[in-house]
Chains A and B, each alone.
Chain A
Amino acid sequence: MKIRQVSVFIENKSGRLSDVVEFLGENGINIRALSLADTSDFGILRLIVNEPEKAYKLLREKDFTVGATDVVAVAVPDVPGGLASVLGLLKKNDISVEYMYAYVEHSAGYAVMIFRFEDTDKTLELLQKEGVKLLSGDVIYSE
């Protein structure tokens, strides 16, 4: 149930973000979700795309500093307190979240959150045991 996320190191200068997404677009890569973490002089662009392996390879060939990370996609009930219930479960089990961001889902009646955990495998096991709805790569990459 792990999802492949592609990360790109980006210097803080105008036009760099646009360079990356334009390059991906030209090569037929569709961005499903993204988040940007930034400091005063650099940022990390995190992407969920339809073809992660291809995107990784293309970016690397183009001399971008790129990494691939396993993340988890959790379907959060689209009601007040939906996210709190998932985070409460993590808190109870002493699992810390490295970072998280939202994924836009139009019709399914739930919101999708992308999580990065310190120990992905252990957390996955717990979430599955507790019956939390997780989304597989097939669902996330396509649609």
Chain B
Amino acid sequence: MIWNNEFETLPREALEALQLKRLKNVLERVYETVPFYKKRFDEAGADPYAVRTLDDLTNFPFTYKTDLRDNYPCGLFTVPQDQVVRLHASSGTTGKPTVVGYTQRDVETWSEVMARSLTGAGLGKHDVLQVAFGYGLFTGGLGAHYGGEKIGASVIPASGGNSKRQIMLLKDLNVTGICCTPSYALNLMDIAAELGEDIRDFPIKVGVFGAEPWTDEMRRTVEEGWGIDAIDIYGLSEIIGPGVSCECLEAKRGMHINEDHFLVEVIDPVTGRVLPKGEVGELVFTTITKEAMPLIRYRTRDLSRLITQPCKCGRTFHRMEKVMGRSDDMLIIRGVNVFPSQIESVLVSRKGVLPHYMLIVDRIGTLDTLEVHVEVEGDFFFDEVRKLQELEKTLEKDIKDIIGVTAKIKLVEPKSIARFEGKAQRVIDKRK
């Protein structure tokens, strides 16, 4: 199902013409109104009035998360405060958070891209949508909420947490769709089982999961455990919030980027060079319709690749693969780049362990060590030490094959690893 046929199926040529017009407009606007951009553009010798093609964007400098912090709170806004109708902030792990603002039209754009996402996931006005993303400064809750209302669904603003109540709402209100993080979806599965409920008997048919990287194996676990289709959605508050891109139910392969609002580039995170379409690199977005706080070539730190082949759903927007990790989350262990998602993909593909894990990185002498704590699965519990040790060895070998680094597997009891209601924290790095 497609929400906005006119834009979502626009022929590429017409789409690119529209993008160029919008790009020129936004480059000129930020140059005129934001001192930060004027300085940066001038330093780089990038002239917003000389842009002739979409490729000319590569002449412009990147914008980084630190630029948002340095201009805290509202230094990158292009409009006066009286035109700002909403402010969100991302959690600042170190120091100040980053603040993002929206005009009325920005909120409408956001609702539009979320409406497209939810429609693509197969939801509509006959559905009941439980939004279990956190409401508040985090954009997940309100983003999904506005999109859900726009498509006419009955929206339940459950927000995150209070898991037993989530299960009750899912059951009693005949919920057909849920939005939350994939790790919370796993968590709710356990809670339902504890309450003696079989969540597969619930009317729910689809889950739209995002805000953290997850694997296709994890998708299968959630789909089987819930008896639903699991759809991946992507977004970040700096660009607009959830809805930058989303999978379609037809293909469930790659998230369609709302390219009439967001230009995407994939770059080499080290050199900054734009990579050919299809290669893995860091996603860089330029917002071409945002009013309050447009961002030019914003470095997301998310690693992915673009799929340019046409999709069977009929949308002409290019797709991005599931995010394979964040360059921030990247662990360098004995000089090798390791992403937690790679280890997760091993754990979820093997019977005998549950997809709950914790990575412990330490340094003994001069040698980095990686220990993976993973919960044993009750249904595959072997009474013999030898078989459990074989399971450990198999997992160690699989991990070594994938990441090229030796890890020590430690089997732990079920429920002994913390469950997460928001973004999962799966790494403890004791080096430093």
Residues of A at the B interface (CB closer than 8 Å) are 5, 7, 9-11, 16, 37-39, 41-42, 44, 46, 60, 63-67, 69, 98-99, 116
Contacts and interface: CB of A to CB of B under 8 A. Distances in A.
A63 B388 contact: no
Interface in B119-177: none
Determine the interface band of chain B, counting residues with CB < 8 A from chain A: 10 to 19
Contact of A9 (B376, B389, B415): B376
Interface stretch (B27-35, B42-50, B210-218, B379-387): B379-387
A39 B389 contact: yes
B384 A9 contact: no
A116 B383 contact: yes
B378 A42 contact: no
A39 B413 contact: no
Contact of B411 (A41, A64, A66): A41
A11 B416 contact: yes
Nearest to A5: B383
B385 A39 contact: yes
Contacts of A60: 378
A67 B411 CA distance: 16
B410 interface: yes
Interface in B360-394: 376-378, 381-385, 388-389
B412 interface: yes
> Which 5 pairs show the lowest CB-CB distances between chains A and B?
A7-B383, A67-B381, A69-B383, A37-B385, A65-B378
Nearest to B416: A11
B381 A11 contact: no
B174 to A, nearest CB: 29
A121 B414 CA distance: 32
DSSP class of A's interface residues: helix, strand, loop or mixed?
Answer: strand
Interface string B382-424: 1111001100000000000000000000111111100000000
A85 B5 CA distance: 83
A11 B413 contact: yes
B383 A63 contact: no
20 contacts: A5-B383, A7-B381, A9-B381, A9-B388, A9-B411, A11-B413, A37-B384, A37-B385, A38-B385, A39-B388, A41-B410, A42-B388, A42-B412, A60-B378, A63-B415, A65-B381, A67-B381, A69-B383, A98-B384, A116-B383
Given A60-B378, A64-B413, 16 more contacts: A7-B383, A10-B413, A11-B412, A16-B413, A41-B411, A42-B388, A42-B411, A44-B384, A46-B383, A63-B414, A63-B415, A65-B376, A65-B377, A98-B384, A99-B384, A116-B383
Contacts of A39: 385, 388-389
B147 to A, nearest CB: 37
A47 to B, nearest CB: 11
Given A42-B388, A44-B388, A60-B378, A67 B414 contact: no
Name which of A10, A16, A63, A69 has the most chain B CB atoms within 10 A of its CB: A63
Nearest to B378: A65
A116 B376 CA distance: 22
A97 B199 CA distance: 43
Contacts of B377: 65
A114 B223 CA distance: 43
Contacts of A99: 384
B258 to A, nearest CB: 43
Contacts of B414: 63, 65
